[in-house]
Amino acid sequence: MEEDIKDKGFWDAIRKTDQILKETNKMIDDKQQQTAVIFGVTGQDGSYLSELLIDKGYEVVGVCRRCSVDNTERVKHIDSPDFTLIEGDITDASSVAQIISGYSPDECYNLAAMSHVATSFTQPSHTFNVNAVGVLNILEAIRLYSSDTKFYQASSSEMFGNNYSLCQSLNNNGGFVEDPTHKYQD
pLDDT at 106: 96
Do residues 179 and 161 touch, judged by C-beta distance below 8 A? Answer: yes
Beta strands in 3-162 (DSSP E): 35-39, 59-64, 83-87, 107-110, 150-153
- Whether 113 and 151 share a structural domain: yes
- Whether 26 and 74 share a structural domain: no
Q: Which CATH number fits the domain that encloses residue 88?
A: 3.40.50.720
pLDDT at 186: 47
pLDDT at 139: 96
- Whether 75 and 47 share a structural domain: yes
Residue ranges of the chain with pLDDT lower than 50?
A: 1, 167-168, 184-186
Query: In the chain, how many domains are there?
Result: 3
pLDDT at 135: 94
Number of Cβ atoms within 10 Å of the Cβ of 71: 13
3-state secondary structure of 29: helix
pLDDT at 121: 83
pLDDT at 68: 73
pLDDT at 174: 52
Sign of CA dihedral 127, 176, 39, 147: negative
- Whether 75 and 63 share a structural domain: yes
- Whether 112 and 76 share a structural domain: yes
Domain membership of residue 168 as a residue range: 161-186
